[in-house]
């Protein structure tokens, strides 16, 4: 049975007490299931036929995500130039334990924003990958996994129920494992994939339990129904709302790599750079932010105290990750810790109740962070090293890479007229106006740190004298054009939500299937204190970075002048958190605990299994030899032998001679007559 239902929503765009007018999206919304289906079909086709195609399946992968990008763009424009789209449709598959099982998709402002971001950024990364992966040993496997990665994220963000969201969530994890460990011949790469997978699985325990509690409490896993219960302040849900919110957020912490689950993300740089770009911009790490935003009414209205936890975790992450980026030599790890810090901004914004601000930073960050990763990949492609100590002086040999990387860096640093300025400023304003002075000051300080480490990365990579081997060169056009496109987004995306001027993005994300009056305050004017301090911090970070790193030296190590004695060893050892996990958890499991488990297995479990096995083997022999062979088989064999013996004797009367049969008949008749005569006399 196919259902297509328009779910009513109370939009924050409406005046108090008024019902907002929304469109059902027509065929655009009802056909949005194609956004999920096409990448999965492409994955299957690449797996089956990719090796026979000229581009090893890349043409199918690019075509699939380009379709999603185009579809998402059309939906985005239809929302902005219309009344907003609110639609929920689904295909009922069956019923299990009183719960309806369905494939359902939701089309509202939040999902449309993610369709657009995933589709457009994926298209740029996939086209770029065609050039970057040229000559790779397993191109078909890469593009199949890469397409599955995008498709899984689209399943996650389109899900109208928590079960489907969980399936997409886990498929994203599986895909990331395959892609991070793509070059599995090197142990550190396969180990990085396993680390990402295991850390996420630990966090996913919380998500799964939270989903189960929510579904059992409400009687359905449909997100819109759960949110309706939230808005209506359902008493049954109120009793467990805090527990559900905490558990869901634990899952979000894992995917979005928030402290203390952040340790997997820097190691994930082992995968090919196009994977890093997509993972850090539009898939995987944004999933936790999306989940928190999708369930935001639950946090805001029934589990408000959990937002304090969200705010604290986000703030810790944005500060500690920003500091770690300063000491990295691997250019991709600089960007990885930067992503952690920016995710911290998004999560902290949601914790402060700034729903629109947090999502707007997700939106703008997707463009400039994917641009920065593709720029880093272009440099790595040219110099055959990830380390900035092997770089320097590349701005003349790689002019387009330098220009686009500089645009991405300025956007990340929050310099005016670039996208990051508008989104980060709105988050700082939310901290300031929301009454979080400590978080506000830490956010401003991190803005300084962000500008500092990006100035360092630009200086060490593109200025001074080249310190590496070989001959750097600009990347081919198939890699440059995607960077140019993303650079346009890094410049223009911020203008979609300028306080008091444009509200296109606010209109988009506040249009939801089931909305709430408490989706967070929207900035209607600039907070000049936040703007001034944030801008000052960004400019000061660039100035300090310029003074520290722009002057060349014989080696990049000598040029990397800033080194604070007590702090730097702590940062270089990543606050010893990895060591704590290794020595406090992993090694004990591998050491005493593993030995105990092995002893238990060898001397207890194996003993029991062996005893049961010996008993079963003896019983089998008794049944076979005693009962079967000497009992049942003997009886059957003797019966058969007796029948054979009788048959061998009786066969003599079956001669086929009529005379003998007539004589026997005559003799039998005589016997009958005699017997009859005797009986009557």
Q: To which residue do tokens 């016997």 refer? A: 671
- Give the H or E element holding residue 380: helix 355-383
pLDDT greater at residue 431 or residue 602? 431
Task: Tell me: pLDDT of 234 over 90.
Answer: no
Q: Would you state the pLDDT for residue 521? A: 63
Q: Would you state the pLDDT for residue 637? A: 81
Q: Would you state the pLDDT for residue 511? A: 85
Q: Would you state the pLDDT for residue 653? A: 67
Q: How far apart are CA 124 and CA 69, in angstroms?
A: 10
Q: Would you state the pLDDT for residue 91? A: 86
Q: Would you state the pLDDT for residue 626? A: 75
Q: Which of 129, 85, 108, 103 is nearest to 36 (CA)?
A: 103
Q: Kindly report the pTM of this predicted structure.
A: 0.85
Cβ atoms of residues 7 and 514 within 8 Å: yes
Determine the straight-line distance between the first and last CA of the chain, rounded to whole angstroms: 88
DSSP letter string, 44-86: HHHHHHGGGSTTTTHHHHHHHHHHHHHHHHHHHHHHHTSS-B-
DSSP letter string, 309-353: HHHHHHHHHHHHHHHHHHT--BHHHHHHHHHHHHHHHHHHHHHTT
Q: Would you state the pLDDT for residue 4? A: 37
Confidence of residue 24 (pLDDT cuts 50, 70, 90): confident
Q: Name 532's Cβ contacts closer than 8 Å, sequence gap at least 6.
A: none
Task: Show the CA angle centred on residue 607, arms to residues 601 and 611, nearest 5°.
Answer: 145
Q: Would you state the pLDDT for residue 520? A: 58
The DSSP secondary-structure symbol of 653 reads: G
Residues 196-216, mean pLDDT to the nearest whole number: 95
pLDDT greater at residue 635 or residue 492? 492
Residues 18-37, mean pLDDT to the nearest whole number: 82
Q: How far apart are CA 615 and CA 606, in angstroms?
A: 14
Q: How far apart are CA 407 and CA 409, in angstroms?
A: 5
The DSSP secondary-structure symbol of 605 reads: I
Q: How far apart are CA 660 and CA 667, in angstroms?
A: 10
List Cα–Cα distances, 491 to 88, 131, 422, 501, in angstroms.
34, 25, 11, 17
Cβ atoms of residues 226 and 214 within 8 Å: yes
Task: Show the CA angle centred on residue 111, arms to residues 62 and 222, nearest 5°.
Answer: 120
Task: Tell me: pLDDT of 538 over 80.
Answer: yes
List Cα–Cα distances, 305 to 294, 345, 349, in angstroms.
18, 19, 15
Residues 219-228, mean pLDDT to the nearest whole number: 91
Tell me the H-state helices in 463-555.
Answer: 477-492, 504-509, 528-549
577-580: long-range contacts at Cβ-Cβ below 8 A with a sequence spacing of 24 or more? 577/260, 577/263, 578/263
Task: Tell me: pLDDT of 175 over 50.
Answer: yes
Q: Would you state the pLDDT for residue 32? A: 94
Task: Tell me: pLDDT of 31 over 70.
Answer: yes
Q: How far apart are CA 151 and CA 644, in angstroms?
A: 71
Residues 242-270 pLDDT 10s: 999 999 999 999 999 999 999 999 999 98
Q: How far apart are CA 525 and CA 600, in angstroms?
A: 66
Q: Which of 346, 343, 371, 200 is nearest to 277 (CA)?
A: 371
Q: How far apart are CA 103 and CA 91, in angstroms?
A: 5
Residues 107-122 pLDDT 10s: 999 999 999 999 999 9
Residues 557-582 pLDDT 10s: 899 988 888 999 999 999 999 889 88
- Least confident piece of the model among 56-70, 302-316, 336-350, 635-649: 635-649
Q: Would you state the pLDDT for residue 69? A: 97
Task: Tell me: pLDDT of 198 over 80.
Answer: yes
Q: How far apart are CA 461 and CA 396, in angstroms?
A: 11
Q: How far apart are CA 502 and CA 574, in angstroms?
A: 41
Residues 434-466 pLDDT 10s: 999 999 999 999 999 999 999 999 999 999 999
Q: To which residue do tokens 């986000």 refer? A: 314
Task: Tell me: pLDDT of 680 over 50.
Answer: yes
Q: Would you state the pLDDT for residue 16? A: 33
Strand 87-96, strand 99-107: pairing: antiparallel
Q: How far apart are CA 648 and CA 318, in angstroms?
A: 97
Residues 63-91, mean pLDDT to the nearest whole number: 92
Task: Show the CA angle centred on residue 257, arms to residues 256 and 258, nearest 5°.
Answer: 95
- Give the H or E element holding residue 96: strand 87-96
């Amino acid at each position: 049975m196919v259902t297509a239902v328009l779910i009513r929503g109370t939009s924050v765009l409406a005046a108090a007490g008024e019902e907002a007018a929304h469109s059902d999206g027509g065929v655009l919304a009802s056909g949005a299931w194609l956004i999920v289906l096409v990448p999965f079909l492409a994955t299957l086709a690449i797996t089956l036929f990719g090796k026979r195609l000229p581009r090893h399946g890349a043409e199918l992968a690019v075509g699939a995500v380009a379709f999603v990008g185009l579809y998402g763009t059309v939906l985005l424009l239809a929302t902005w130039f219309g009344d907003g789209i609110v639609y929920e449709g689904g295909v009922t598959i069956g019923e299990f334990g009183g719960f309806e099982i369905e494939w359902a998709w939701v089309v509202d402002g939040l999902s449309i924003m993610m369709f657009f971001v995933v589709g457009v950024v994926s298209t740029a990364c996939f086209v770029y990958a065609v050039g970057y992966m040229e000559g790779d040993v397993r191109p078909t496997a890469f593009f199949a996994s890469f397409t599955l990665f995008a498709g899984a994220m689209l399943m996650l963000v389109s899900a109208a129920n928590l079960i489907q969201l969980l399936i997409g969530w886990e498929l994203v994890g599986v895909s990331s494992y395959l892609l991070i460990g793509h070059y599995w011949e090197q142990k550190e790469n396969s180990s990085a994939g396993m680390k990402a997978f295991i850390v996420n699985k630990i966090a996913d325990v919380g998500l799964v339990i939270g989903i189960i509690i929510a579904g059992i409490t409400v009687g359905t896993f449909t997100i819109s129904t759960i949110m309706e219960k939230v808005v209506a302040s359902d008493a049954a849900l109120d009793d467990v709302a805090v527990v559900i919110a905490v558990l869901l957020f634990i899952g979000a912490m894992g995917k979005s790599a928030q402290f203390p689950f952040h340790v997997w993300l820097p190691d994930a740089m082992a995968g090919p750079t196009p994977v890093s770009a997509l993972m850090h911009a539009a898939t995987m790490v944004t999933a936790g932010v999306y989940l928190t935003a999708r369930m935001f009414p639950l946090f805001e209205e029934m589990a408000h105290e959990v937002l304090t936890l969200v705010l604290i975790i986000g703030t810790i992450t944005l500060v500690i990750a920003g500091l770690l980026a300063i000491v990295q030599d691997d250019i991709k790890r600089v960007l990885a810790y930067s992503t952690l810090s920016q995710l911290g901004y998004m999560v902290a914004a949601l914790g402060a109740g700034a729903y629109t601000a947090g999502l707007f930073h997700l939106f703008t960050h997707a463009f400039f962070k994917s641009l920065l990763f593709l720029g880093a990949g272009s440099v790595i492609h040219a110099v055959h090293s990830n380390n900035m100590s092997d770089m320097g002086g590349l701005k003349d040999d790689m002019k387009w890479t330098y220009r686009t990387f500089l645009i991405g860096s300025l956007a990340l640093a929050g310099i005016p007229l670039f996208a990051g300025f508008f989104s980060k400023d709105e988050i700082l304003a939310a901290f300031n106006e929301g009454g979080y002075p400590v978080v506000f000051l830490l956010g401003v300080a991190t803005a300084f740190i962000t500008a500092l480490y990006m100035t360092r990365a630009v200086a060490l990579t593109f200025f001074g004298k080249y310190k590496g081997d070989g001959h750097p060169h600009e990347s081919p056009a198939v890699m440059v054009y995607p960077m140019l496109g993303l650079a346009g987004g890094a410049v223009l995306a911020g203008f979609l939500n300028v306080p008091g001027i444009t509200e296109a993005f606010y209109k988009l994300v506040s249009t939801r299937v089931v909305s709430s009056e408490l989706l967070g305050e929207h900035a209607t004017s600039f907070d000049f204190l936040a703007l001034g301090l944030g801008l000052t911090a960004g400019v000061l970070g660039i100035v300090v970075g310029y003074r520290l790193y722009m002057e060349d030296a014989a080696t990049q190590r000598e040029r990397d002048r800033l080194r604070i004695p007590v702090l730097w060893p702590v940062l270089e050892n990543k606050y010893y958190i990895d060591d704590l996990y290794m020595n406090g958890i992993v090694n004990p499991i591998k050491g005493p605990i593993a030995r105990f488990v092995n002893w238990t297995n060898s001397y207890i479990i194996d003993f029991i299994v062996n005893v049961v096995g010996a008993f079963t083997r003896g019983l089998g022999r008794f049944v076979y030899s005693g009962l079967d062979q000497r009992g049942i088989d003997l009886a059957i064999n003797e019966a058969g032998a007796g029948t054979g013996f009788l048959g061998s004797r009786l066969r003599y009367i079956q001669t086929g001679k009529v005379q003998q049969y007539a004589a026997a008949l005559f003799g039998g008749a005589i016997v009958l007559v005699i017997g009859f005569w005797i009986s009557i006399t």
